[in-house]
Amino acid sequence: MNKFAAFALGVTLAFGSTVTTALAEPIVMKIGFSSEGDIRMPGAGRSAGALAMKNYLEVASGGELQLEIHPDGALGNARTMVESAQTGVIEMVGAYTSIMVPFAPEIAVTQIPYVFRDNLTAWKVMEGPVGDELAASFLEKTGLRVLGWADGAGFRHIYAEKPIKNVADLQGTKMRVPENPGLLAMFRAWGANTVTITWSELYTALQSGMAEGHDTELYSMYSKKLYEVNPYVTMTRHSYNLHPIMINEEFFQSLSPEHQTLVLQAGDLYTRVGNAHSFVSSLVVKQAMEAEGATFYYPTDEEIAEFRDLGQQPYIDTITRKIGDEGQEWVDKIMAAAKEAEQTAR
């Protein structure tokens, strides 16, 4: 074959390849989560991270991969969306710590009261071996691969219709607590009466008196305007929250190696953007809430010590029983990882 013929053949093949690519249907991935769909300040880090993920995937793949975002619980409540991702009805889901615990009890170690000193400590731990091991365990039990352990609006605090300054003020208060058995045990150890109410029904429950208080992160509380019925905020910082993004493993394995790499890179980008946006949001949301009438109280060191001393061990005892034989091992791992992360940050 002469050079001209070879060149002509090459052009033909290249053109044919281009036409094939252009005509090929893009791979569309649906992701559902409960946060808003746009970027706000204050706002959900998950929303910012998901949009960054979408842009990266679509640009880096040349349009071969597309991410279809369904925010605001449009595809169902948090548990329903996780189950939809398990069955492949949707390819990806944005979840949060407490809703993951019923699927894999060991996830509860990330919410041990006061295990993380600050956000940076939590980020380091979740990007390290403990985060990898928890992701591997969750994958084995659910068929969902964790693509990134992003900050879930930071730490949880206590909100109520009356001022709560210490453990004594919680006695007999009807507190809405999520599905994490450890959090339920912790609030009971503090003397509260716990009730479990879905997040979507919480405002009405607080309004009607079914619950008198709740615990969540600042932005989550602000976004649902719960300060209108629970205007008193006690900055206990008792447990850290995560907003991981997950993908159906069977679907992930169906992708080409090149597309898998892009998805993994997008997951890393999601985590970093989500962490940054969530942290900055936590710095401005207090001012926004105060403008709406919320009143903040910062417990003293002695009051925080009381919350920790009374609540941490009941939490640990409960989750180790739920996890089973490896329960204490998981607790020891995350405690050691948090201590090491604190030391390296100094």
Domains observed in the chain: 25-344 (3.40.190.170)
Distance of alpha carbon 233 from alpha carbon 218, whole angstroms: 9
Distance of alpha carbon 148 from alpha carbon 126, whole angstroms: 9
* pLDDT tens string 183-205: 999 999 999 999 999 888 999 99
| Cβ 64 vs Cβ 292: under 8 Å | no
CB atoms within 10 A of CB 239: 27
| Cβ 152 vs Cβ 242: under 8 Å | yes
C-alpha distances in angstroms, 164 versus 133, 232, 234, 290?
A: 37, 7, 6, 17
Average predicted confidence (pLDDT) for the chain: 92
Q: What angle do CA 144, 146, 149 make, to 5 degrees?
A: 150
Output the six-digit token pair for 92: 């990806």
- Single-letter residue type at 56: Y
CB atoms within 10 A of CB 176: 26
> Quick one: pLDDT at residue 5?
40
> Quick one: pLDDT at residue 345?
65
Q: Is the pLDDT score of 54 beyond 70?
A: yes
Distance of alpha carbon 74 from alpha carbon 69, whole angstroms: 10
| Cβ 233 vs Cβ 289: under 8 Å | yes
DSSP string, 14-35: HHHHHHHHHHSPPEEEEEE-SS
- Single-letter residue type at 162: K
Q: Report the predicted TM-score, pTM, of the whole model to 2 decimal places.
A: 0.88
C-alpha distances in angstroms, 93 versus 60, 65, 78, 327, 342?
A: 21, 16, 9, 27, 31
- Beta pairing class for 213-217 and 174-176: parallel
* pLDDT tens string 212-251: 999 999 999 999 999 999 999 999 999 999 999 999 999 9
- Single-letter residue type at 168: A
Average pLDDT over residues 31-60: 96
| Helix-, strand-, coil-residue percentages of the chain, each rounded to 5 | 55, 15, 25
